[in-house]
Structure 1
Amino acid sequence: MKTGSQTRLLAILLAVVTLAAFGLSIANLMQESSYAAPTDGVHWAETEGGLRAYIVPKDTPAYRAGIRTGDVLTAIRHGDVAFGGDVPMPLERPSERESVPMLKLSSFEREIERSGVWSHASYSLLRNTVSNGRPMVREIAAVVYLEPTDRTDHYVQRLIALVYLAIGLYVLLRRWTAPKSMHFYVFCLDSFILYAFHYSGVLDGLDQVILWANILAMAVQPALFLHFAVSFTGEGSRQKTWRFFYSLLYLPGAALLVLRFLSFHLWSSTGRLQHRLDQIDYAYLAAYYIIAALVFWIRYRREQQPLQRQQLKWLSRGTLMTVFPFTAFYVIPLLLDANVPGALTKVALLSIILLPLTFSWAIVRYRLMDVDLIFKRGVTYTLATAALVGLYFGVVGLTAKMASAMAADRLPPGLREWGLVAAIIAAALLFDPLKRAIQARVDRVFDQKRLDYRETLVEFGRELNAQTDLGALVGSIVERLPQTLLLTRVAVFLADDELPGQRTHFKLIASHGLSKAISDTSDRFDLGFLDFDRRDADNHIFFESPQAALRLPEPQRQTVATLDLNYYVPCRVARHEGGGLSTIAVLGLGRTGEGDFLSSEDVELLESLASYIGIAIQNAQLYRRLEQKIFDFERLRDFNENIVESINIGVFAVDLEDRIESWNAQMEVMYATPRAEALRRPLNEVFPAEFLQEFDRLRAEQGLCTLYKFRLPTPTGESRTANITIAPLLNRDFRAVGRIIIIDDITDSINMEKQLTQSEKLSSIGLLAAGVAHEVNTPLAVISSYTQMLGKQLRGDEANHARLQPVLEKITQQTFRASEIVNGLLNFARMGTVDFARVDVNAMLRDTALLLEHQLRSGRVAVEMHLDPQLPAISGNLGKLQQVAVNMMMNAKDALQDKGSGRIKISTSRTSDSVEILFEDDGPGMPPEVLRKIYDPFFTTKSNPKEGQRKGTGLGLAVTYGIVQEHGGTIEASSTVGEGTAFRLLFPAIENERPRPSDSSTAAGLEGKVVHV
C-alpha cells in the first residue's frame, strides 16, 4: 500500500517523464522532417565480398535499375545528376567517378548519404546465374537514382503512439484509483516512446537519446504487457507471493538490452547483426503478446464473477484481434525475411491501436455488459448504413442522368449544368421520405425491444403526469417498473425538504421485493452514498456485489448489503432557485428475474424514465404544498389582521383616489374617529388641511417618506405629536395600488423627553453648584473669620484701627458678596434661562485673547490666530462662549508652563453648515487614560500646581462641555504625548449669514499673524 508521499512522488515522476517523452518526440519529428535520407529501397546485409540484397521490394529505385534479390554489391561509383525533362541524366564521365568498395553496411550508408537525394550512383554487382547447366558468377553494373526514404510508417506509428498516450491519460485521470490503472498508464507511456521515437540518421546527441530510449522501450514494453495480463485479476496477497515471478518476466528484455549495448560498443556493429537483433526483439514482442492473450483466455474460462468475466472476455478477444494480424503480417515476415505488400504491413501496424482501447474499456468498467451488444449493433448499423448510402446514391445518380439527358435535348446549352444541379436537389428531396421509412423499418427490425420500452415509457409518463397524490404515484412506480424491466427488487427513496446549506437526506418510502423487516428498519439506514448533487457525481451508481461495496464507510456498506440493490438512479429536476438540477428522489433496482444485470440501453431508458418520475414527484409535492400554502395563507391572513388590529400604532391605507380603505383600532382611539365613519371616505374629509398639505407634498416622492414630530389636530380639538410614515402600497407585480400611512403617537414621549432634559440640566448645574459651594465657601469662610479676628485685635490700637478698619470692612463685605453669589448659583440650579443672540466668533476670540494678554505674556505663551474672514456668525450667548474660549486658552497656558514657553494656535473655518473653532497647543499632551476623563466634573491634573500655575477645580472642561451642548454644538479632543493637544469645536452656523465688511476687514488684519500677548 503506497503512502500519500509515495503516491505524490510517483505522480510527479510520471508527469516529468511524460513531458520529457512528449518533448523529445516533437524534437525527433522536427529533426526527421528536416532531414531527407537517401535510399535505394533494398535491404542489404554483409556477406563475403560485399553486401547481399535479401529483400528488393518492387517499385523501388534499385528494382527499377535491375537489382534483384541475391545480388552482391561490391562497389559504388557516384557523381552529380542533371535533370532533363522527367529523367535525371549523369553529367560527369565514367572515368571521373570514384569507385568505393562495399564491405560493410555502414560504408554503404555513408556513400549514399554522400551522394544525396535525387543523385545517381553506379553499382558494381555480382549475380549468380546458370549458363549451360553450370552455375557461374556474372559481374553487372546498374545506375540507381536515389530517392528520399519513405517514412510513412513512422507517421502511422506516431499516430498510434498518440492514441496510446491519450488513452493512458484518460484512464489515469478518470479512474486513477482503479486497480492496475497506474500500471496501464506506464505501459501506454512506454508504448508511446516505442512507437514515437525513430532514429533519423543525423547521428547527433538527440539521435543517440532517441535511439537508446527506443531500445529501452522495446525491452520493457512486452514485459509490462505480460505482467499486466498475469496480475490483472489477482488478489493482493497473491501478487506479493508472485513478486519474484513478476521480476523474472523482465529478464529477457534486460538480456536484449545488454546485447544491444555489446553490439554497439564491443562487437562489430554489422548490418546483419543489427538485423538479427531486430528479429529477436520482434520475436520477443510477439511471444509475450501471444502468452498474454493465452493468459487472458484461460482466466476468462475459469472466472466465475460476472463483471470480471466480462472484462476478461473483452480483453482476451481484443488482445487476439491485435496479436494475430501483427504477428502474421509483420513479425513472421520479418523473421523469414519475406517481402510483404505495404498494405498488409500498415494493417498490422494499425491493429496495435486495438490493444489500449480494450484495456481502457476493461479498466474504466464502462458498459462492460454491452460489449457483445455494441459489437453486434455496430456491425448491423454499418451494413444498414452502407445499403442505404448505396441505394441513395444509386437513385440520385439515375435521376440525375435522366434529368441531364432531358436537359440536353430540351434546354439551352447554358442551362444544362443548372438543370443537372436542380435534378440532384430534387432527387435528394424526394429521397428523404424514402430514407426515413427505410430507417424506421431497420430500427423496428433490429431494435424492437428498445422501441417497446419507449412506448411503455410514454404511456407510463402520461399516467405519472396525471397523478397528483404522492402516495398513489410512488405505489404506481414500484408496481410498473418490475413489469417493464422484469426486475425482482425495486425501491424508491425520497429526499427530505431541502434546507439551505444542508445536505439532502433520503428515506425509503416504497419498495417491491424488499422484506417488511427491511422496510420497518429503513429509518436507521445510512444513505449518504446517494449524493448525486455533487459536481463529479455520475448519472447512476452501480454495485456489482452489494455485499462487497468496499469503497464505502462501514454504516453505508451495511445499508447497501441489506438493501441488496445493484443500481441507484437519481430522479433530477430543475432547481427553483440558483439554476441547475437537484435530486428529488432515487430509484433503487436489483437484477432481473434471471439474475442478469441491466444493459446500457436499459440503464439509459431507466435514466430517461427517472426524469419523468422526478417531474411527476415534484408535481405531486407542489400540489400538496399548494394545498398546505392555501391553508397557511388563510391562517396567515387572519393572523396579520390580528397583528394590525393589536399593535399600538395607528395604521390606515388609501387607494389611488385617496379614499380610505382600511382603519385599525388604534386609529379609532388616537384620532377619535370610528372605523365606520372613516372607511371609503376621501382623505380631505377626515384629516385637517395641515396634514393634507404635507401628504400632497410627499406624493411625488418615491419610496418611504417620514414626517417627524408632526403636530396633528384631532376632531376633538386636541393636538397630538406623531411620527408619520407614508409608504407606497404595492401588489404582487410591484405596482402601486395606493399608500399606507403609519401614525406613531409620540406626544407622551416628547413630554417625557422635555422633563428628562430639564432634569439632566438641573442635575448638571446642581453638581456644578455643589462643587462651587464646596470650593468657594470654605476659603470665603476662612477669609471672613480672619478678617473679623483682625478687626477685634485692632480695637485697642486707635491709630491703626482708624486706618485699617475701612479696609477690613470692605473685605468682609466682599466675602459676604461672594457667598451670596454662590448661594445665587445654587438657586439658579433650580430654574434659569439663557438668552441667545448673534455672535461673531472671530471678534469673540480676539476679545478673549486681548483679555488674557497679561496672563499669557507673563507665561511666555504666544498666540497664533488663523481666522477665516468669510466665517458666518452663530447663535449663542456671548458671555458663555467667551467663558469657553477662556477655559481653552487658560488650560493650554497651564499645560505649556512645564515647557517654560510655547505657542497656542487658534483657527476658524466653515465646514458645510457649521463653524469650526480649533485650539491647538504644543504642550506635553495627555495620555489616553487622562483624555477619557477630562470632561468629568472635579477631575483635574492640577491638584498640586507648580509655580505660575493655577490650582484646578476640575470644573472648567465640564462647564465648557455643558455650554457647547447647550449651543447645539460638539467638542472633540485629541492629544499625543510629547507633541501637544487639540480641541475641535463645532457650532451650527446661522443660515444665509454673510460676514459684515467690518468683521472681514478686522479678521483679515489678524489672518496668519502671530500675536505676542
Structure 2
Amino acid sequence: MEGHGGLVAEHVLPGSPGQLAGIKAKDILVSANGAVTDRIAQLAREEAQTRVYGTIHYTLIRRGIRLVDVPVILAQQDESLNQGLRLIALVYLCIGFYVLFRRWTAPHSLHFYIFCLVSFVLYAFHYTGQFDLTDQVVYWSGIVAAALQPALFLHFGITFPEDRPRRRYGVLAFVYLPAVLIVALQVVAQQFWQATEVLKHHLDQIALGYLAAYYLITAVVLWVHYHRSRVPLRRQQLKWLVRGTVIAIVPFTVLYVAPFLASIPEPSLVTKLAGISLVFLPLTFSWAIVRYRLMDTDLIFKRGVTYTLATALLVGVYFGVVAVTAETAHRTLPKFGGWGLIIAVILTAQVFDPLKKLIQRRVDKLFDRQKYDYRSTLIEFGRSLSTETDMDALMNAIADRLPHTLLVERVAVFLSDQPGHYRLAKAHGFPASLMQAESTLDLNFLDFDQPDAGSHIFFENTQAALHLTESEQRSVNLLDLNYYLPCRVQDRTIAVIGLGKTTGGDFLSSEDMEMLESLASYIGIALQNARLYSSLEQKITEFERLKEFNENIVESINVGILAVDLEDRVESWNTQMEVLFALPRREALRQPLSEVFPESLYREYQTVKEQPGVHHFYKFRLQTNAGESRTVNVAVAPLVSRDFETVGRILLLEDITDRTQLESQLSQAEKLSSIGLLAAGVAHEVNTPLAVISSYTQMLSKQVRGDDRLSPLLDKITQQTFRASEIVNGLLNFSRTGTSEFRETDVNTLIRETLTLVEHQFKTAQIELVMDLSADLPTIRGNAGKLQQVFLNLFLNAKDAMHGGGQLRVSTLVNGHVTIAITDTGSGISPENMQKIYDPFFTTKSAPKEGQRRGTGLGLAVTYGIIQEHAGKIRVESEVGCGTTFYLEFPVLRKPAHV
C-alpha cells in the first residue's frame, strides 16, 4: 500500500514471488527498474512492461537501510477463483433462463430472473486492465451489478413469501438507496480522488461489507417469514430458502468477508471454498420458486430414512443368520471346514430372499398405509381394462377406481373424437351444472400430439394459468384439475385423464405420476378396443351411407355420366343423362349402346373406343329422343379397376347449348363494334360536306340579310348543319383513342383546373370544397388530359354521392411517391359492391335521384385503366353512411442529375 516514502509491504504471502525474493513485511519499495514508485499505478506499469516470468529489480528500504537491486521474478497471477466464479455465473444464468421459460407465470419468477442475470454479470465480468471502450463497459457493469445484486436479493426476500404483496414502495426505496450511494461513491472516486491502493482497498471493503450485510439481513427476513407463515406449502418453500441462504452465506461471510474487512490474509484454498459456497444460493432459490415435484422432497427424505433403516436391519439379520449357520455347521460338521461356511452362506442367501421381500412389503405398507392395497391392485386393474368392451362401463370403472386409489377429489376423462379436439365424457366430484355446460369448455390446451408435448400437463394454480387464452383459462378454472395425462395408442392421443389435488389438499408425488403414466397406456388401449368394437357395428351402415353418398355425387353433377362394360352395355346412367336423352334410367340400363345413342354419335364412339387414352368430340350436334337438337362436348375414357385392368368405358356428355348461344351473342357484339367503327369513319367523311354547306349558307345569309322570307330559311339550315356537325363530332370523339403523350405534370395545378370546371356544380349542390395541397409536391410523368378525366370522374362521383350537400376534401402529399386523397361525406359504398366498382358497366346510378346524373358504369373502369397506364395505384376506403376516400399513388418523376 502507499505509505511514507514509497509503497509499504503490508503482507507478504507465503510462496509468493515477493517472499521468494526475500521481501519482508514493512519493507518500503522506492523504485522498480529505476522508476520511482510512489503509487501502485507506477509499479503496475513496470510490471506490465516486464511481463510474466520476467525479472523486475526493486530498490527497498528496510529499517532505514537501502537495499538496491532486489530481483523479483514475476509469476502468473492466480485467476482460478475467477473460473469458479464464472461457474457460479453460468449456474445463475442457466437457472434464471429455466425459471423464466418453464415457470414464468410463478410469482416472482421475473424478479428472480433479473436477480440471476445481475448475478451472472457480477461473477462473470472481469476487466482486462486495458481500459478501452469494451473494458470500460465491463468494469462499470461489474460495479453496478455488485451494487444492485444484494438489493435485489433483499427485495426478493421481503416480497417472496406474500401471495399478494402489499405496496411497500418506501421500504423498497430504502433498500435500493445504499446501492445508489455505492455507485455514486465509485464515480466520485474515479473522477475526483487520487488512485491509490488504499482507496481501492477501502472501496472493495465497503462493497463487500454491504453485500454480506444484505445477505445476512435477507437470511433473517426469510427466517422470520418462515416462522410466521401458516400455509404448509409456503412453509416448505421458505424452509428451503432459509437453508440455502444459510449454507451459502455463512461460509462466505466467515471465511472470506470477515478476514477481508479486517485486512487479514488468507490461504488461497479457503478463499476459493468460500466463493464456491455461493453456488448453493441459486440452486435452493430456484428449487423453491419452480416447486417442481416439491411434494417429492418429503417423500424422498422419508423413503431414504425408511429404506436405510430397513437395509441396515436386513444386513444385520442376514449376517447374524450367516454367523449362526456357519457356527452350527462348524460344530456339527467340522470335517467340511471352509466349504461348510460357503455352503451355509449360499443356503442362507436363498432362504433370506423371501424374507427380504416380506420386510420390504411391510415397510411399504407402513409408509403408504391404506393406499398401498389400492396401488398394488391398480396395475392389475389397468391390465384387466382391455377385456371391457362397453364404453360406458369402462368410463365408470375409471372414474370410480382412480379417486379411491389416489385419494383425489376430482377425476375427469376427456375423449378425442378427432385429433386435437376433446370432450368431457366422464367425471367424478364435479357438479351437475358443469357436466351440462360441457359444450362451452375450451379444451384446446390439451394438445399432446405436438412433437414437444410432455408426458403430462401440470397447473400449480388453476386460477392463474396466464399462458392460456381467456376461454382456456376459464375452462381450467371451472374444471379445477391440476394434472392432465394423455392416453396414447400408436403415438396418437385418444383420451386425456384429468386429476385434482388429494383430499388433504396436496399435490401428487412423482411416484404417483409415474404410476399414472404407466396406467394411462393401459387405459388408452382399453378405450381404443372399446371404440373399435363399437365401430364394427357401424361399418355396414357406414358402408351403405358411403355408397349412397357416392351415388348422390354422380347424380348431382351437372354432366351426363354413363358407364358401359366391355360389350358396350350400359351399366350406369345418371339423372343428367335422363334429362339429356329424355330416357329413364330403368329403360337405359343393360341396353346396348347402339340402341341408346343416335347413329351418328355411336359411329363416332366406335372409331375411338379401342384406342388408348381419353378422346373428345367438341360441339357435337345431338338429336334427342324428345326431338330437340342439343350441342354437347363428349369425352370417352377407359374404365379401369384397382389392378389397372380395363373393365369398360366411361362417357361424359356436357350440354353446352347455352354456352354456344352466348358465344354467338358475343360474336354479334363484335360485329356491332365493327359497325360502330365503320359509322365513325362515315361520320368523318360526312363532316366535310357539312362544313361546306354551313359555310355557303352563312354567306347567303349575309347577302340576303333583311329578306324576311329567305333569312329565316337560311338560319334554320345553318342551325341544322351545326346540329349535324355536333352529332358527327360526338361520333368521332367516341371512337377517338386520343394521344398518349406523357410529359412532366404538376398534379396540384391539374387538380385546381379540374375543380374550376365543377366549381359551379358544387355550389349549386351545396358542397363545400376543402383543398390541402402540399406546396413542395414533386411532379410526375403523365398525360394531363387523361389525368384530368380521372379527377373529373372521381369529383362527379363524389358530388352524386353527397345528395343534399356535404364536404369534398382533396389533399396531396409525398411519401416516397405522390399521393392524392379524395374524401367525401356521402352515402358510402356497401361492402358487397366494393369488389365490383371497377367492373365495366357496373353502376349504382341506374335510377338516379333528383339532381344526379344517370351512370354508365364506365367512369371508374376508365379511371382504373388510366391509373394503371401511369404505373400508379388506386385503393378505396368506405363506410356506409359516413363517406368514401379514394387514394391515388403515382411514382415521382426522377430528373437526371446535372453534370
TM-score range, shorter chain: 0.5 to 0.7
Aligned to 1:223: 151
How big is each residue's C-alpha offset from its partner over 1:429-463, in whole Å with a ceiling of 9 and x where there is no partner? Answer: xxxxxxxxxxxx99x99999999999988766654
TM-score where L is the length of structure 1 = 0.51
Query: Cα–Cα, structure 1 residues 523 and 712, in superposed 2: closer, same or farther, change >3 Å?
Result: same
C-alpha contact (below 8 Å) 1:124/1:140 kept by paired residues: yes
Q: Partner of 1:476 in structure 2?
A: 397
Letter in 2 for 1:490: V
1:764 corresponds to: none
Give the deviation of 1:568 after TM superposition. 3.4
Counterpart of 1:368 in 2: which secondary structure? coil
Select 1:599's aligned residue among 509, 527, 542: 509
User: Matches of 2:117 and 2:471 in 1, distance apart?
Assistant: 40
Q: Is the 8 A contact 2:687 2:728 kept in 1?
A: no
Which of 29, 33, 38 is equivalent to 1:74? 29
Paired residue type of 1:183: H
Query: Contact 2:559/2:652 (CA < 8 Å) preserved in 1?
Result: yes
* Partner of residue 72, structure 2: 144
Aligned CA distance change for structure 1 residues 691 and 469 (closer, same or farther; 3 Å): farther
2-structure distance, mates of 1:307, 1:109: 55
Secondary structure of 1:223's partner?
helix
Residue 523 of structure 1: aligned partner? 436
| Amino acid of the structure 1 residue aligned with 2:149 | Q
Contact 1:71 1:125 (C-alpha < 8 Å) held by counterparts: no
Q: Tell me which residue corresponds to 2:16.
A: 60
Aligned CA RMSD, in angstroms, stands at 6.3
Q: Which secondary structure state, in structure 2, belongs to the residue aligned with residue 532 of structure 1?
A: coil
- Asked if 1:315 corresponds to 2:228, the answer is no
Paired with 2:4 and 2:861, the residues of 1 have a C-alpha distance of 109
The one-letter code of the counterpart of 1:527 is: L
Q: Deviations over 1:47-94 (max 9, x none)?
A: 5555443443444322332335x241333342xxxxxxxxxxxxxxxx
Deviations 1:721-743 (A, max 9, x none): 68585565566799864334467
SS in 1 for 2:537: helix
Counterpart of 1:472, as a letter, is A
Alignment counterpart, residue 295 of structure 1, candidates 210, 218, 221: 221
Distance in 1 between the 2:584 and 2:531 partners? Answer: 46
1:180 aligned residue: 108
Tell me the amino acid that sits aligned with residue 474 of structure 1: M
What is the match of residue 649 of structure 2? Answer: 739
Are the aligned partners of 1:117 and 1:148 in contact in 2 as well (CA < 8 Å)?
A: yes
Change (3 A) 1:373 1:112: farther
Within 5 A, what are the aligned runs for 1:741-820? 741=651
Matched letter for residue 507 of structure 2: F
Q: Structure 1 residues 321 and 860 mapped into 2: Cα distance closer, same or farther (>3 Å)?
A: farther
CA distance in 1, matches of 2:652, 2:463: 68
Q: In structure 1, what is the Cα distance between the partners aligned to 2:559 and 2:148?
A: 90
Alignment partner for residue 121 of structure 1, among 41, 49, 56? 56
Q: What are the Cα deviations for residues 237-262 of structure 1, in whole angstroms up to 9, with x where unaligned? A: 6x31x432233333444454455456
Does the aligned pair in 2 maintain the 1:711–1:721 contact within 8 Å? yes
One-letter amino acid of the counterpart of residue 523, structure 1: Q
Paired residue for 2:202, among 266, 276, 283?
A: 276
Are 1:860 and 1:900, in contact at CA under 8 Å, matched by a contact in 2?
Answer: no
Separation in 2 of the partners of 1:373 and 1:649? Answer: 74
- Structure 1 Cα separation of the partners of residues 560 and 193 of structure 2: 112
CA offsets per residue over residues 853-882 of structure 1, 9 Å max, x none? 996874689xxxxxxxxxxxxxxxxxxxxx
Query: How far apart are residue 146 of structure 1 and its match?
Result: 2.0
Q: What is the distance in 2 between the residues matched to 1:642 and 1:461?
A: 46
2:484 match: 568
Structure 1 residues 117 and 644, CA gap change in structure 2 (3 angstroms): closer
Query: Structure 2 CA distance, aligned partners of 1:235 and 1:903?
Result: 82
Map of 1:97-108 to 2, 5 A cutoff?
A: 98=34, 100=36, 102-108=37-43
Mapping for residues 64-463 of structure 1, pairs under 5 Å:
64-68=20-24, 70-78=25-33, 98=34, 100=36, 102-125=37-60, 142-202=70-130, 207=135, 210-236=138-164, 239-240=166-167, 242-257=168-183, 259-260=185-186, 263=189, 269-371=195-297, 463=384
Aligned length: 656
- Structure 1, residues 88-125: CA drift from partner, whole Å, max 9, x if none? xxxxxxxxxx373x554344334434544443223344
Partners of 1:564 and 1:474 lie apart in 2 by 20
Render the CA deviation track for 1:469-510: whole Å, top value 9, x for unaligned: 321232232244346545443222345668xxxx95633x32
One-letter amino acid matched to 1:522: M
Q: Which amino acid is the alignment partner of residue 654 of structure 1?
A: V
Alpha-carbon deviations, 1:126-178, whole Å to 9, x = none?
A: 668xxxxxxx9996973101234344433543454354345435544555554
2:73 is matched by which residue type in structure 1?
Y
8 Å CA contact retained: 2:154, 2:218: yes
Contact 1:489/1:511 (8 A) holds in 2: yes
Deviation of the 1:331 alpha carbon: 2.4
Query: Are the equivalent residues in 1 in contact too, given 2:561–2:651 (CA < 8 A)?
Result: yes
1:667 CA displacement: 8.3
Instruction: Give 2:40's aligned amino acid.
Output: L
- Helix, strand or coil for the counterpart of 1:250? helix
SS in 2 for 1:602: helix
1:578-608: CA deviation from partner (whole Å, max 9, x where unpaired): xx97x65432213345553112453355356
**Letter of the 1:599 counterpart:** S
Which whole-Å CA distance do the structure 2 matches of 1:898 and 1:674 have between them?
Answer: 63
Of 418, 423, 443, the residue aligned with 1:506 is: 423
Matches within 5 A, 1:854-869: 858=689
Q: Distance in 1 between matches of 2:599 and 2:613?
A: 22
CA distance in 1, matches of 2:210, 2:549: 89
Larger Rg: 1
**TM-score scaled by length of structure 2:** 0.57
Q: Which residue identity is paired with 1:586?
A: V
State the 1:285 CA deviation.
1.5
| Structure 1 residues 64 and 303: CA distance shift in structure 2, 3 A | same
Q: Distance in 1 between matches of 2:474 and 2:40?
A: 71
Structure 2 vs 1, CA of residues 529 and 249 (structure 1 numbering), >3 Å: closer, same or farther? farther
C-alpha distance in 2, partners of 1:671/1:257?
Answer: 98
Letter of the 2:56 partner, please give it: A
Opposite residue 330 of structure 1, the aligned amino acid is Y
The percent of aligned pairs where both chains have the same amino acid is 46
Structure 2: distance between partners of 1:141 and 1:203: 32
8 Å contact kept, 2:7–2:29: yes
